[in-house]
Structure formats: structure tokens, C-alpha cells
Amino acid sequence: MAFVELKNIEAGYVKGSPVLKSFSLSVEKGELLSLLGPSGCGKTTTLRTIAGFIMAEKGSVKIGGRDYTRIPPNKRNIGLVFQSYALFPHLSVFNNVAYGLRRRKVDRATIRRKVADVLKLVSLEHFEERLPSQLSGGQMQRVALARSIVIEPDLLLLDEPLSNLDAKLRVEMRAELSRLQRRLGITMIYVTHDQIEALSLSSRIIVINEGTIEQIGTPEVIYQKPATPFVARFMGFDNRLSGTVIRIQDDRVLVNVQGFEIKAILEKIAGLKRGHQVELFFRPDDAALVNEKRENILPVKVNYYNFQGNSIQYSVNCGESELNVVMVGKHDPQKSYEFLCVPADKLIVETRGGG
């Protein structure tokens, strides 16, 4: 049995219209699991249900084999880290971190030692007397992290913890979180809408859309083999082409796209037959613009381009669809192109209108 187990949860903010409907997931001990999805998809609701701030109307929440479904949030021993840091503004860094230990009636000397240890762990050992208002965003989030791990929680829940930080700090904190997680072996559930964050931190990712799970998998699988059109679009397969199946050969499918033959590798769709309507998805940086005729090309017209330093982003028209192509490396932006080329193994095939 998994360490954290949600079974057939129905939960939400207004009675009668649940955000989560018959929602189940399991987390192994020591794992860092990400809940990934757009805002409003139910990932924060999931987190708040695990934390106990939302009582599930149906289903059960189990942690470490114990039933937590009806246990109030203050009796759950779960650490929480918020996007807004949520430090206690009137308390010093020391008192912020010590807050949870005091509630647990830990003696003074132990509090001193534990707070000092955890502040050292997040490299804030000389900040004990500071107030939150005297810290930078990154420092505040490290205090919040220290405050939630000092109580030695069974489970650490992080709700978009890096979203308020600037890009450079976000990368630093990501590395630090990853280091802490490996060092302490805490089971973590991490909510984010940022694919890069989820991909670089998690052992497994759950992609959520409108209260239901779209796909569960390792970062590699989610990134390379999205199981549904939603996951594909969310993971950056921004380009879509429509076509008709010409024939199927072993694991390959030949699709007619605007009169051109495009080859793609079939992953899973069974029962695909000649004449079926399909959609092909691919990433902007998996395609290239070329001038010579070769396999898997489509005629295009360049609309405009954006120079982006080490890459150039092109907007091209291919028949009626507008596509996005990113070419990395040194290219002459003025150069004109005739064709778009997508390798067969970079295309994802979905049946028209769903998956």
C-alpha cells in the first residue's frame, strides 16, 4: 500500500458542485510527486484536501496506513509551503520557525537546537532575529521551508512555492529544494502550473485537467509521450495539423496532410484505419525550416520572425494553419524558406477531436 492514498475523493468549496470528482491518487514514501495543470484545474483543491482544510464529501484520505479523512488540519502533522510564503509578519525568523515546535510542547533547549539546525540547513543561520519584512523573497521562502520541515512532518505539501520569485532565484531554489528532498527523504507533493519546474523536480508527475487526472508518469514519459491532446498541448506540443490516414504499416502511419505524405510513429492508437481523420502534434523546436525536398516536408510561407538570441522563432503559414517553429543555433533571419520538416518520431498522432 502506498504511503499517501486518496480514494474516490469528492471535494470542493461549494456543496453540491465538487471540484474533484471520484479522484484517486497514491504517493510512495520519499517520493516527490508533482500535480501539474492550469489554474483552476483542481490541483490546489487536491492539496487542501490532503492538508485537511477541505473535508472530502466522499472518499478517503490515508497517510501511512492511517485514515485521515475526518482528522482536522491541525492534528495531521503535515508541512505546508505557500506561494505567498505566509510567514507570521510580527514574529522574528526564529519565532516563525519555532512556532510549530512550541505547539508540540517541545522544551526550550531542544527548540533552540532544532531551529538552529534547520536554519543552517537552508543557509539562514545568521538571520534568527530578522523580521520577515527585512528578508528578500528567496530568503522568506527558505524560512517558510524551514518552518514546515522543523516539525518533521509525515508529508510536505508545496503550493506553487516558487511562483513569486524571479527567474534566476527560481532556478536556484529549485536546485535547493531538490537537494533538501534527497537529503531528508521527505515525501513531497508539489503543486505547480510550470512544466519545467515539474519536469526538473519530480520523480512522478500527475497532469490534472478539470478535476480529473489526464496522465500519470515519470517526467520523461510525460514530456515525450503525452497520452492525451490536453497533455500534449500543455507540454508544449503547440502545433497541430489535420490529416487523413492513407495507410498503416507496422508501427508507422502515413497521413495525408494537404496533399503531402507525412510519416509518423504510432504509439498506442489501435483500430486506426485508412480514411480516418487524425491530428498531428509537434513541438516548435522539433521542426526545422528547409529548402530542399526530403521526407516529411510541407510547403510553408514565413509570416514573421522573432530574434531570441540563441534561437529564432518563426511564425509560418501552412495551408490554413498557423505554425510555430523555433530554430536553435546561428541562422540568417533574412533567409527565406520553402518547406517545413518534422521528423516522424517527433509527431504525436491523436484521433480527431479527443483521445
- By beta-carbon proximity to another protein, the closer residue of 77 and 200 is 77
Candidate list 79, 211, 236, 243; residue touching another protein; CB under 8 A: 79
- By beta-carbon proximity to another protein, the closer residue of 106 and 266 is 106
Q: What's the rounded Cα separation, in Å, for the pair 92 and 133?
A: 10
- By beta-carbon proximity to another protein, the closer residue of 88 and 113 is 88
3-state secondary structure of 67: strand
Q: H/E element holding 147?
A: helix 137-149
Measure Cα distances from 266 to 191, 247, 349, 351, 354 in Å: 32, 12, 7, 11, 16
- Kindly indicate which of the ranges 20-28, 74-82, 233-241, 320-328 contains the residues binding another protein, using the contact rule CB under 8 A: 74-82
Site pattern 246..275 for another protein (x: CB under 8 A) = ------------------------------
Closest to 4 (Cα-Cα) out of 54, 60, 48, 61: 61
Residue 4 interacting with another protein (CB under 8 A)? no
- By beta-carbon proximity to another protein, the closer residue of 75 and 273 is 75
- By beta-carbon proximity to another protein, the closer residue of 20 and 144 is 144
Minimum Å gap between C-beta 295 and another protein is 54
- By beta-carbon proximity to another protein, the closer residue of 151 and 287 is 151
Q: List binders of another protein among 133-192 (CB under 8 A).
A: 144, 147-148, 151
Written as nine digits, the cell of 345 is 518520431
Minimum Å gap between C-beta 178 and another protein is 23
Candidate list 103, 179, 274, 335; residue touching another protein; CB under 8 A: 103
Residue 82 interacting with another protein (CB under 8 A)? yes
Minimum Å gap between C-beta 84 and another protein is 5
User: Are 237 and 195 in contact, with CB atoms under 8 Å apart?
Assistant: no
How many residues interact with another protein (rule CB under 8 A)?
28
Q: Which residues lie below 8 Å from residue 109, measured CB to CB, with a gap of 6+?
A: none
Minimum Å gap between C-beta 112 and another protein is 18
User: Are 159 and 44 in contact, with CB atoms under 8 Å apart?
Assistant: yes
- By beta-carbon proximity to another protein, the closer residue of 148 and 215 is 148
Q: What's the rounded Cα separation, in Å, for the pair 31 and 299?
A: 47
Long-range residue pairs from 13-16, CB within 8 A, at least 24 positions apart, any chain: 13/45, 13/54, 15/57
User: Are 99 and 74 in contact, with CB atoms under 8 Å apart?
Assistant: no
Site pattern 43..62 for another protein (x: CB under 8 A) = --------x-x---------
Residue 301 interacting with another protein (CB under 8 A)? no
- By beta-carbon proximity to another protein, the closer residue of 66 and 182 is 66
User: Are 153 and 78 in contact, with CB atoms under 8 Å apart?
Assistant: yes
Beta bridge partners of 11: 20
Measure Cα distances from 178 to 76, 171, 258, 291 in Å: 24, 11, 47, 44
3-state secondary structure of 331: coil
Candidate list 67, 88, 220, 308; residue touching another protein; CB under 8 A: 88
Minimum Å gap between C-beta 132 and another protein is 10
Candidate list 86, 131, 213, 269; residue touching another protein; CB under 8 A: 86
Residue 110 interacting with another protein (CB under 8 A)? no
- By beta-carbon proximity to another protein, the closer residue of 14 and 167 is 14
Q: What's the rounded Cα separation, in Å, for the pair 323 and 285?
A: 11
Residue 74 interacting with another protein (CB under 8 A)? yes
- Size of the chain in residues: 355
- ∠ Cα 273 279 285 (to 5°): 135
Binding site for another protein (CB under 8 A): 13-14, 51, 53, 73-80, 82-84, 86-90, 99-100, 103-104, 144, 147-148, 151
